[in-house]
């Protein structure tokens, strides 16, 4: 089993590995199977999530060209399970994760939920053991470029999808309400629902354009511009 001091070396962290760092890599399945006394990484996830949201907010706020609406959208894209799971893999945290035998056999090392929790716990442990300045410097060095990539304009439809994706209870549905005009000059009217709530309407000369306009209308209602 790989030791966390090897991870510190690979990430150029010139610090002694402290107990909470070790705990960040202990999944609850490993904790219960081995009857450990130190605890799993579950509580560390809580503080890590708060630290990450603050870091993302602070980093985006430093970009003068981003308005409140755009910052909110980018933060929602970054602070979500899929993004955190990808970042755990990006930092190679998965190689040091301690799983129970059963969870390992069920492919737990590749589960997005477990990887996302690991990433949050690791950041939480960094904050608690080494403080605010060190943790934010670490995130700046290793993850700022990953965050800035999300500033690329992906279009209203994709932005709306990414804005709601962090809450798996929510889903988007587009419907063509009407279409009229000659075949070579049609106009489409499209509506978009968030679950069963009518959120936006749009028109366009193609269904795709109408969907983009409906998404933009919805974003305008969800996010204060």
Cβ neighbour number for residue 130 with a 10 Å cutoff: 18
Task: Go through the domains of the chain in sequence order and give each one's CATH number.
Answer: 4-151 (1.10.1520.10), 169-222 (3.30.160.20)
Q: Are 193 and 175 in contact (CB under 8 A)?
A: yes
In whole angstroms, give the CA distance from residue 77 to residue 163: 6
Identify which of 153, 150, 155 has the alpha carbon closest to the alpha carbon of residue 213.
Answer: 155
Extract the residue ranges of the chain whose pLDDT is less than 50: 225
Please list the active-site residues. 49, 120
pLDDT in tens, 119-142: 999 999 999 999 999 999 999 999
pLDDT for position 72: 83
Query: What are 72's two structure tokens?
Result: 């909110």
The answer for residues whose C-beta is within 8 angstroms of residue 19's C-beta and 6 or more apart is 38, 129
Tell me, yes or no, if the pTM score tops 0.95.
no
- Calculate Rg over the CA atoms of the chain: 22
Asked if 73 and 146 count as a contact pair (C-beta separation under 8 A), the reply is no
* pLDDT at residue number 1: 59
Q: What pLDDT does 225 receive?
A: 44
């Amino acid at each position: 089993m790989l030791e966390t001091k090897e991870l510190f070396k690979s990430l150029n962290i010139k610090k002694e590995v402290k107990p909470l760092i070790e705990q960040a890599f202990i999944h609850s399945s490993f904790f219960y199977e081995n009857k450990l006394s130190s605890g799993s990484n579950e509580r560390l996830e809580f503080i890590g999530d708060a630290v990450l949201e603050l870091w993302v907010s602070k980093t985006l706020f430093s970009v003068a060209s981003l308005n409140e609406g755009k910052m909110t959208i980018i933060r929602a894209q970054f602070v979500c399970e899929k993004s955190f799971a990808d970042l755990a893999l990006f930092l190679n945290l998965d190689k040091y994760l301690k799983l129970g035998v059963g969870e390992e056999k069920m492919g737990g090392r590749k589960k997005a939920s477990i990887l996302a929790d690991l990433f949050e716990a690791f950041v939480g442990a960094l904050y608690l053991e080494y403080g605010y300045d060190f943790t934010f410097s670490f995130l700046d060095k290793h993850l700022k470029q990953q965050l800035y990539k999300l500033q690329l304009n992906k279009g209203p439809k994709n932005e709306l999808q990414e804005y709601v994706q962090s809450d798996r209870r929510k889903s988007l549905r587009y419907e063509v309400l009407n279409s009229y005009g000659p075949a070579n000059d049609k106009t489409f009217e499209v509506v978009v629902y968030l679950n069963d709530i009518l959120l936006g309407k749009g028109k366009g000369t193609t269904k795709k354009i109408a969907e983009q306009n409906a998404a933009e209308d919805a974003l305008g209602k969800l996010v204060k511009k």
